[in-house]
Amino acid sequence: MDTDTLTLGLVWYWAFLFSTVAHEAAHAWTAYRLGDPTAYHEGQVSLDPIPHIRREPLGTVAFPLVTYLMGGWMMGWASAPYDPFWAATYPRKAAWMALAGPLANLTIAVAAGIAIRLGMLAGIFVMPESAYFTEVTLGIPGGWWHGAAMFLSILFTLNVVLFTFNLIPLYPLDGSVAITLLMNERLTERYREFTMNPTLSMFGLVIAWQLFDPIFRPLFRVALQCLYPGHF
């Protein structure tokens, strides 16, 4: 593995791990505030990656590294435990808990976008001719601005990806629970009974993966237009 590949992999992993841990910590913190301390007792109401890695070493370490070596980008997962009895008793609270993760990713994407704009005002970042995962912005030659631009580019795009994918309303994604905020109590109960079927998990992920690209592309274009008004 050459130095450039290794450096890009480290940048990718920092962005991936921070984004994933923030997502799960938001779930854990929201559940704790709303009455379920399960994740809190496991130390997951924290941006410390260790409790999250300890719970899901395959999804937070092994799988991201394998996908990077095979495809040049990282995929993975983490999880925060919760009390299913609490979720069944307080379905609206459970829905807010589910929504908290994607909202954390949206917050990170916005923060990365603000940092990019500030960098442009400071003259250290410039707009690329075409934007993609690792080049939403470019650093000026010299110094470490290229690495900073790469990190912010990945952080921006990755969190738009996580926000979009997790809000698809198919089980087991967060959107499948968050959508119950739009339902009345009776419909929510019927919906919960339907989604308790474990076979829906694999089907939901397969269908969500097929739906993702046509949903993500226009949303990412909107994100870029917000970042660079009048362009893209």
135-182 pLDDT, tens digit per residue, is 999 998 877 898 899 999 999 999 999 999 999 999 889 999 999 999
Percent of the chain at pLDDT above 70? 99
Residue 232, domain member (yes or no): no
User: Catalytic residue at 185?
Assistant: no
Given 24, 129, 135, 193, which residue is catalytic? 24
Lowest mean pLDDT among 4-13, 134-143, 186-195, 220-229: 186-195
Residue 13, domain member (yes or no): yes
| Residues spanned by the domain of 97 | 3-227
Residue 11, domain member (yes or no): yes
Q: How many domains does the chain have?
A: 1
The token pair at 168 is 């698809």
State how far the Cα of 23 lies from the Cα of 78, in Å rounded to an integer: 9
Instruction: Give yes or no for residue 121 having a pLDDT over 70.
Output: yes
Instruction: Give yes or no for residue 203 having a pLDDT over 90.
Output: no
The token pair at 41 is 């007792």
Instruction: Give yes or no for residue 193 having a pLDDT over 80.
Output: no
Check residue 231 and give its pLDDT: 82
45-66 pLDDT, tens digit per residue, is 999 999 999 999 999 999 999 9
State how far the Cα of 14 lies from the Cα of 8, in Å rounded to an integer: 10
Q: Torsion-angle region of residue 95: left (phi > 0), alpha (psi -120 to 50) or beta?
A: alpha
Residue 167, domain member (yes or no): yes
Check residue 1 and give its pLDDT: 63
The residue to which tokens 């997951």 are assigned? 44
- Other Cβ atoms less than 10 A from the Cβ of 226: the count is 13
State how far the Cα of 139 lies from the Cα of 149, in Å rounded to an integer: 5
